[in-house]
């Protein structure tokens, strides 16, 4: 059960409603009435951004479910506030709440580009595509002000290092020239996540993310610039967004997406109670139906963390959703799989005075 909402806070465009403690906390804070009937002014809950200076920026991954072995996340936390975000529990490692803290207490890594250049220059480094935005969106709202991504992209471009991106942030178009330059060398691909085409539902699910129509325009602009774009129907939420699978793929294909993927809703750790609370606040008449369908795909539980199952789900309904997706993808002419990215030209950028190659 989640703690009650703090009445002294005014929430504007937030996904979560409270600050439940993370699973590593030893103590739980409970708000108690002091008995004084004195009204207090509400304060608008604002986003706080702090900086971090990590020793490295490339995170290694060995999960058999994920098709990349390294990633970069310029931020911790995400102001988009998507209520279903599987990354929310990562804030618990910081002693912060996966609820409101995840979307209002953001940590930025402004030295990311310098760290990346240092790590790529190590003698033992071997190139493989780096995934950007795997835990939180690197083009979330604060990126428009901090501009960490252009530095990262310039390092990748100068080293001829391939990269992929997962985003729903329109600020990616600010860096269109850098992405297009890398794509011209077969060293870039961008995935744009579209959960629903219903603007009202999207506003409730993903309160500070761009509207679905804007994401479709992002796909159009990116693809016109020569950048391969994958539409990600993710997450597919039973009852709420599952009926839109074909519509999402159709709209994205018309906008220029060349590949497509889908991921079933995941509710790991603290995400499950947050999502249940969101259902009761925004879709109370559908809450039981949604969760019954989720559990039918997860072996009777809110979440199934097993490798090979956590992204797909199981059972008749999960199989039917995947079949619908595959048929729609084939009918609409999406290519199978993602284009291979070129690692063969990786190497240090030339310095002033270096002899340039003729070929």
pLDDT of residue 308: 76
pLDDT of residue 5: 81
Provide CB contacts within 8 A for 93, sequence distance 6+: 22, 24
CA–CA separation, 126 and 190 (whole Å): 22
- First-to-last alpha carbon distance for the chain, in angstroms, is 64
CB burial of 241-261 (b: ≥16 within 10 Å; e: otherwise) equals bbebbbbbbebbbebbbbbbb
Q: What pTM, to 2 d.p., does this model score?
A: 0.92
Total length of the chain:
359
Q: Per the structure block, which two tokens stand in for 195?
A: 């959960």
Q: Provide the angle, in degrees to the nearest 10, between the axes of the packed helices 149-158 and 176-183.
A: 20
**Residue 183, exposed/middle/buried by CB under 10 A (0-12, 13-18, 19+)?**
buried
pLDDT of residue 354: 59
Q: How far is CA 192 from CA 155, 173, 261, 353, in A?
A: 23, 12, 10, 41
Q: Report phi then psi at 43, rounded to 5.
A: -110, 135
Question: pLDDT digit of tens for each residue in the chain (359 aa)?
Answer: 688 788 778 899 999 999 988 887 777 766 666 666 666 667 899 999 999 999 999 999 888 878 889 999 999 999 999 999 999 999 998 899 999 999 999 999 999 999 999 999 999 999 999 999 899 999 999 999 999 999 999 999 999 999 999 999 999 999 999 999 999 999 999 999 999 999 999 999 999 999 999 999 999 999 999 999 999 999 999 999 999 999 999 999 999 999 999 999 999 999 999 999 999 999 999 999 999 999 999 999 999 888 877 788 889 989 999 999 999 999 999 998 888 999 999 999 987 655 555 55
Asked if 251 and 220 count as a contact pair (C-beta separation under 8 A), the reply is: no
Alpha helices in the chain (DSSP H): 100-104, 112-120, 143-146, 149-158, 176-183, 199-205, 212-224, 245-255, 271-282, 287-296, 316-331
pLDDT of residue 84: 97
Q: Per the structure block, which two tokens stand in for 67?
A: 């098709």
CA torsion sign, 78 to 81 to 82 to 87? positive
DSSP-based three-state secondary structure for 233: strand
CA–CA separation, 155 and 227 (whole Å): 18
pLDDT of residue 353: 57
Provide CB contacts within 8 A for 63, sequence distance 6+: 307
CA–CA separation, 307 and 309 (whole Å): 5
CA–CA separation, 302 and 287 (whole Å): 13
Which of these, 164, 328, 193, lies nearest to 263 by C-alpha position?
193
Asked if 107 and 76 count as a contact pair (C-beta separation under 8 A), the reply is: yes
To which residue do tokens 């009650």 refer? 4
All structural domains of the chain: 45-265 (3.20.20.70)
């Amino acid at each position: 059960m989640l703690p009650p909402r703090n009445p002294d806070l005014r929430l504007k465009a937030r996904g979560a409603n409270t600050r439940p403690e993370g699973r590593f906390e030893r103590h739980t804070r409970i708000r108690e009435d002091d008995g004084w009937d004195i009204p207090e002014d509400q304060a608008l809950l604002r986003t706080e951004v702090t900086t971090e200076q990590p020793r490295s920026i490339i995170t290694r991954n060995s999960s058999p479910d994920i098709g990349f072995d390294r990633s970069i996340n310029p931020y911790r936390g995400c102001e988009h506030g998507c209520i279903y975000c599987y990354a929310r529990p990562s804030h618990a490692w910081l002693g912060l709440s996966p609820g409101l803290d995840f979307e209002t207490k953001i940590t930025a890594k402004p030295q990311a580009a310098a760290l990346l250049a240092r790590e790529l220059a190590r003698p033992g480094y071997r190139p493989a595509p780096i995934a950007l935005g795997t835990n939180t969106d690197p083009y979330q709202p604060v990126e428009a002000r901090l501009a960490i991504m252009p530095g990262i992209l310039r390092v990748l471009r100068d080293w001829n290092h391939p990269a992929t991106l997962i985003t729903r942030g329109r600020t990616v178009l600010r860096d269109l020239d850098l992405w297009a330059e890398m794509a011209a060398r077969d060293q870039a691909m961008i995935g744009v996540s579209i959960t629903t085409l219903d603007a009202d539902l999207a506003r409730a699910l993903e309160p500070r993310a761009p509207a679905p129509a804007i994401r479709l325009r992002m796909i159009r602009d990116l693809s016109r610039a020569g950048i391969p774009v994958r539409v990600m129907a993710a997450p597919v939420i039973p009852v709420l967004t599952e009926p839109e699978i074909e519509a999402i793929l159709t709209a994205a294909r018309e906008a220029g997406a060349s590949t497509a993927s889908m991921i079933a809703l995941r509710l790991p750790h603290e995400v499950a109670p947050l999502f249940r609370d969101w259902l009761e606040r925004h879709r109370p008449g559908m809450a039981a139906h949604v969760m019954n369908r989720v559990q039918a795909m997860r072996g009777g539980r809110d979440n199934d963390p097993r490798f090979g199952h956590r992204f797909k789900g199981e059972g008749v309904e999960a199989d039917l959703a995947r079949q619908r997706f595959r048929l729609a993808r084939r009918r609409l002419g999406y290519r199978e799989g993602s284009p291979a990215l070129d690692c063969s030209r990786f190497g240090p950028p030339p310095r002033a005075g270096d002899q340039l190659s003729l070929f």
